[in-house]
Amino acid sequence: AFSFMFSTTPEQAKMGISQNTSALALMAKIIPENTGGFIPVLSVLLSISAILTSFFGIYLGFYDALSGIIINIADRFIVRGKKFNNFLPYLVTLTAIVLLWGWVVADVSTMALLQWTVGTFGLVSCLIPCYLIWRVPSLQKYKSPAVIFVSLMGFMLVVSPLFKLLEK
């Protein structure tokens, strides 16, 4: 980020922001043409790899979470066996497809979904770990001012969906 910042003028940066241009696309316009088209190709490859990496990271996290939910529910009603464990990946995939299909059909805004669910992130990622650090004796060694800061950030994340209600 710093190399891009130091190699562009403020006018070029403002132009890139106003046109919603990526940093590499902006560099492709700025760097002389004698590079043999290397920068535009690199820009496309970087964009594709970033999208794929992000997708697979989110998918694997979602897959593990959904597997855990299904196993938790199934353990309450049945004794899991080899057949269930073999069928689980198909069940998770089918559930994911149905959920995504429903999301598309319902035309749910991604930004609205993020705004409404960020409270859960604040609770799980900030407040619960901080609470455990204060309450569990083996985690006492991690007490520091940073825990208070993380708690405050978690509280802000938890209450932020309330601000969505105040929007006009």
Whether residue 96 is found in the same domain as residue 115: no
For 55, the token pair is 């997708």
Residue 15 within a domain = no
DSSP code, position 144: S
CA pseudo-torsion sign 76, 81, 84, 88? positive
Cα–Cα nearest to 63, from 31, 27, 25, 95: 95
Chosen domain end from 106, 125, 141? 106
Residue 26 within a domain = no
Place 17 in a pLDDT band, splitting at 50, 70 and 90.
confident
**Which tops the pLDDT comparison, 156 or 22?**
156
pTM above 0.85, yes or no: no
Portion of the chain with pLDDT greater than 90, in percent? 49
Which has the minimum average pLDDT: 37-41, 44-48, 58-62, 111-115? 37-41
Residue 7 within a domain = no
C-alpha pair distances (Å), 42 with each of 23, 55, 135, 139:
12, 20, 50, 45
Residue 2 within a domain = no
The dihedral region occupied by 136, where left means phi > 0, alpha psi between -120 and 50, and beta the remainder, is: beta
Residue 41 within a domain = no
Whether residue 126 is found in the same domain as residue 151: yes
DSSP code, position 124: I
Outline where the chain has alpha helix (H): 2-7, 10-18, 23-30, 38-77, 82-106, 110-122, 128-135, 145-166
pLDDT at 74: 92
Which has the minimum average pLDDT: 4-8, 113-117, 123-127, 136-140? 4-8
Chosen domain end from 106, 122, 138? 106
Mean pLDDT of 68-78: 93
- Number of compact structural domains in the chain: 2
- Residue-number span of the structural domain to which 157 is assigned: 110-166
Mean pLDDT of 37-53: 80
C-alpha 21/C-alpha 43 separation (Å) is 11
pLDDT at 130: 96
Residue carrying the six token digits 């969505």 = 164
Mean pLDDT of 37-45: 74
Whether residue 101 is found in the same domain as residue 66: yes
Residue 9 within a domain = no
Whether residue 118 is found in the same domain as residue 161: yes
C-alpha 37/C-alpha 57 separation (Å) is 30
pLDDT at 1: 45
**Which tops the pLDDT comparison, 14 or 75?**
75
Whether residue 65 is found in the same domain as residue 94: yes
